[in-house]
Structure 1
Amino acid sequence: MPPESRNQAPRSSPRRNTEGGALRTGISSLEAFYQITRRVGMAVDINEALIRFLHALVDLSHAEAGAIRLLGEDGQLHLVSSVGLDDDMVYRERVLPSGSCVCGHVPGSRRVLFKEDLSGCLETLQRPFLPDTAPGNQGVSMIAGGIDHRGQEIGMFNLYVSRAHLDVYRDYEEFFSTVGKYMGLVVDKLRVAEEVDRLSVSDERTRMANELHDSFAQTMASVRFQVRVLDDTLHEGNEELLWESLEKIESSLDEANDELRELIAHFRAPVDEQGVVPGVVRAVERFRRYCDIPIFFQRHWPDKNLPPEYELQVVRIVQESLANIRKHSQAKTVRVLLQGNDLGEYRVLIEDDGVGITPEVRKPGNAGEHIGLSIMKDRARRINGKLSIESEPGEGTRVLLRFKAPDAVARS
């Protein structure tokens, strides 16, 4: 629903009197259509597109005023914009039942209507269409056209024109029908774009929720459990166990702080438009700062940049793998290897010699201990890659990502 119709009526823009009436002075329908598409093409959202369309149509037709409405989810027509109409009339007409009158015409009937006599409308409204200062309230007729897409009406436009020239406008009936269909296509396209943006935001929120759940939230749950143990220890009066519990809580809080720092780093742009290698270097350096496990970094990576989405997912997989090693592996050595060639074939290897992935972690439904494995696999799928995880208890873990650059996929 257009935002203007939710709380208050939109104010009518002043009539912009341009030179000549393009349609009335013989401009071709093709030229008029081109001028409308040129103006509408500069819009960034639905409301702006409809406003630009209305102003262009009013200018080209040399109409006294105009209005444009979209069909809302409630089945009513909501005023998006108006030009040259009386403000009080705009307020009263901000929402109309579909098909209630000529202003609410068109769902179901894909004709352009030309209504010569508006005296009945003026009597019903008890207000003029045009401001009191404007001439010709009694000599105004209306053109009502539908905005439709694939046979379905999604809105309509009204033009208030001189009754003396109504027959001239009738010659442009096909033009008014065509621009209505064009605007239906534009509205549908922009709605799809808005839905894609909405789903993209929702998807990113899901990613953030997964990462919070699989790291920081799990550590805080461990702290909560340790606080309960501390409470029991206090009642027992065992000072040695008390200090041991306090040290565990302190260690867990340090771990939570480290994880929070890592998450903040993850949610910022991890590659800073510099490529995969700088992002992985930062991840390795961060690992060294917060962990005593020796880590070796090797790279044989082309200078050619990958698409931003590819770079982001590769860096995130390395970051999450290193976070898992730090928290779970008890490893003595870690290695990170980046390999790529001029054919666009890439390998990313993260391996350790720790305790490996235990059977408990591999159990289906073990949401608290799956250490981000499903998240990493999801990241690999987003770049059409394959992620393999090899691990046996006591023999460490080997995470291998293989993928091809988009241009290499196109060539294969």
Structure 2
Amino acid sequence: MILSVPQKSMPSKTEVKNSARLAQRAAALEILYDVVDGINRCPDLDSLLNHSLRVLKEMVGARSATVRTLNSKGEMCLVASLGFDEDDVATRITLPVENCFCNQALSRGELLCKSDPESCSLLTGDAVLDASSSQMIVLPLYYQGATLGVFNLFLDDEGMAKREDVLDLLRRIGHQLGVAVANARQVEELQQHTIRNTRASLAHELHDSLAQTLASLRFQVQALQETVGGTLPVLVDRQLNQIGDGVEQAHTELRTLLAHFRAPMDGNELVSSIQQVVDRFNQDSGINGIFQKECGQVLLPDEVQRQVLRIVQEALTNVRKHANARTARVLLRAVGNHYTVLIEDDGQGLVGHRSKHEGEQLGLEIMHERARALEGELRVESERSEGTRVELSFQCQSVIRSVDVKDVE
């Protein structure tokens, strides 16, 4: 007896379509899960956007991709890019986007596709645009009517940009990431608000306690000098003057500390903040302080900017207290994401004065610690009677960097 082998029936067109649809839904769910997992797992916003950029680039088969966030001045700041040469990515100049195609997606909060990315590249002058691609997908990150950033996906094939299921999935991902960006910014604003309140509280406490005590001591020492001036032995008179100088110096340093605590950090870009520090140095020391910049406006993350300013302040404090200088210079240089801050003076130098000024050595150690916190390098050079040179170098992604004419030339 011969057993017949049952013949498998060919699936119908409906079954094939249903299977394909189920496969697409499964793939879409897997991608959404990957994005949501990144939202929960990534430690910060930049890590999340980098992770999402890789997911989206692989999802649509893009040749290259970028992600940018919109700052308060309406400028797009590059966060991450994939598929570009290092020379192109190094040109991370933040530019206004009023006339850019991306601005249409930003203002509408809608996903848009463009078939000639070269026109955007010519318009913005931005090297981080893949003008040779045949299609660009612009995916805005939006939340509650506000657009917070944008993904640019550059494709060789226009077919993917015409698939409605793919575009619908991109829209859902854009909304999820928009919520994540909004939440991250709210957390950051809350943290900065807490820091400002703490600093203000400390400033009030110092003003109401130590500042009042030092002011009273200044008055008493001045009154004593006026009362017994010229009648005391030379040694006693000298010691009284040293006490007066010490109280005056402590009062000046406390005023500087109070100014640091009260100074608003966010909203002030680094150039104007350093200028304020140098102006205060000129006022308190009588030394000719000069600030020079080789960059445009620079707004760094608050913690980075705070560390840089503290290094500048400590270096200038050392100049005022120990250098016996006539002139001090502060230089800020920015080339791409590389920053250099130079503080130098024409004073007596550090050689031969190490044992005498223990506070100065402590200040240098603190500056080195701050430089390490920036993952940067601090170099101190000094020669007797030839002054001291403190140079800080570090790398950081600027929140905004407007372009000066000198930068372009």
Query: What TM-score, normalized to structure 1?
Result: 0.45
Greater C-alpha radius of gyration: 1
Quick check: which one's helix share is greater?
Answer: 2
